[in-house]
Structure formats: C-alpha cells, structure tokens
Amino acid sequence: MTEGSTKRSLPALSGLVAGGLVILGVALFMFVHKGLLVVAGLGTFGPGILRELGWLNDQDEFQREAAHRAGYHAYLVGGFVALLVYAALEVWEAQLQASSEWVLLVLVALWLAWLFSSLMKFWGARRTASTVLLVFGSFWAVFAIATIITEAGSVDAGDAILGVLASLGIVGPFFLLAWTAHRMPRVTGILLLVVSVVFVMAFKPGAGTQRWSTTLLTDALLIVPLAASGIALLREGAVGGQDM
C-alpha cells in the first residue's frame, strides 16, 4: 500500500465529526425522540453541502471523484426505491398502512448506497466487509450487554450465564467472519449470503403483526450490508484467484 492510499484510508477530522454526529443522532432517535434523527442528518449530509458551497476543503481530487461517484449511485438506488415505495402505496393503499417509516426506508436505501460505494472505492471489498462485520458484532455485543444489565435483577445466575452464552453465540461469528474476510473472501462471501437468507426468513415482510414498512426497514438495515459485503467478497475472490 502506498503512502497516498494509506492517508486516504484514514478518516479526516471532518469525517470523524460527521461519524460522531451520525452515531449520536441514531442514539437520540432510538432512546430520546425520533425527531432528533435530524442530528444524524447533519452528520450525513452536512459535510457534502459545505463542500459544494466551497466552505469545506478537506478532500483531494481522488476523494472528490469517489464522493461524486457515490452520490450518483445513491441517486440511482434512492430514486428507484422511492419510486417502488410510491407505486406500492398507490397500488396497495388499502393494505399498506401509512407511516413515516416509508420515508425513512428511502433515506436508508440512499445512505447505504452512498456508504458502500464510498467504502468500496477507498478500502476495497475485504476491508469494507470486515469493517461492516465488526460494526455488526459490536452492535450486538452492546445490545446483549445492555440487556443482561437490565435484566440482572430479575433473573437468577443460571439464566444470566445462559444469556451471556447465547449472546456470544450471536456476536462471535461476526468477529470471526471479520477475520476471515481478509483471508478467505469467497468462503466468507458465501457465508454472508447464507446469513442474509436466514435473516430474510426470520424477518419476512408481512409476517406476524409488524407493518410492512417496519419489516422492510429492518431488512434493509440488517440484510443489505451483509448481502452487499458477501457479493463484493465473491467478486473479489473470483478476480483475485484462490483464497489465501
């Protein structure tokens, strides 16, 4: 790896601030008030708006080209999803409940398309997939720890131990796959697609009492990153030859 590519792999201060705002906004959205998702919007769209206005100059030519390319991909994916949502609401108006989650679904599709296009351009398939899996594993770990702490006073020691073991059974594979993504991209890609299919079956649209918008939003957040990483790893493995 060259010095230039190494520098490009390190986030700038503006990127760290933007990422912090996204994390804070999502946390506020989940635990305080949904309207505070606007904080995450500042982190997601704010830097790009400032750059286009000429008030923020933190990117070189390569980074600007990658950002514009990712923006076009986000336009294509977000626009297509918005069209599908509009058509579905018009055709199945009686069956599909109106909800702000439909708007959020479009925003998630747009943001994921931009994010993956950017990461693939900067890091390539292996590091992108590894980072996604580390984020997933960390998320599940934090969720499991919070659940165990919350229920600590209401369950006995045996149930607490079983809860920890169950959590490790969920979290462990994500960290293991994050390690194998660098060394066995094709095998890891296949496993990620298998996990994606399992999630599709577990969160099937229209199943149970959940609204379609809620289920599709869950699918987008859980399945799309894993499936996209799996496909990218399979493509890289096919181009790069045998897994190492």
In the chain, which residues have pLDDT < 70? 1-11, 94, 143-170, 205-210, 237-244
pLDDT of residue 7: 43
Q: How far apart are CA 122 and CA 131, in angstroms?
A: 13
Q: Are residues 75 and 171 in the same domain?
A: yes
Q: Are residues 135 and 223 in the same domain?
A: yes
Mean pLDDT, the chain, rounded, equals 80
Give me the domain span that covers residue 85: 66-240
pLDDT of residue 58: 84
What are the tokens at 124? 């390539």
User: How many structural domains compose the chain?
Assistant: 2
181 with 126: CB under 8 angstroms? yes
Q: Are residues 75 and 24 in the same domain?
A: no
Residue type present at position 222: L
Residue 208 counted as domain residue: yes
Residue 3 counted as domain residue: no
Q: How far apart are CA 41 and CA 134, in angstroms?
A: 23
Q: Are residues 37 and 70 in the same domain?
A: no
pLDDT of residue 9: 52
Q: Write out pLDDT tens, residues 99-124.
A: 888 999 999 999 889 988 888 888 88
Q: How far apart are CA 228 and CA 187, in angstroms?
A: 15
Q: Are residues 43 and 154 in the same domain?
A: no
Residue 158 counted as domain residue: yes
pLDDT of residue 6: 42
Q: Are residues 119 and 204 in the same domain?
A: yes
pLDDT of residue 235: 86
Q: Are residues 45 and 119 in the same domain?
A: no
Nearest to 108 by CA among 243, 220, 241: 220
Q: Are residues 22 and 125 in the same domain?
A: no
Residue 60 counted as domain residue: no
Q: Are residues 25 and 92 in the same domain?
A: no
Q: Are residues 23 and 134 in the same domain?
A: no
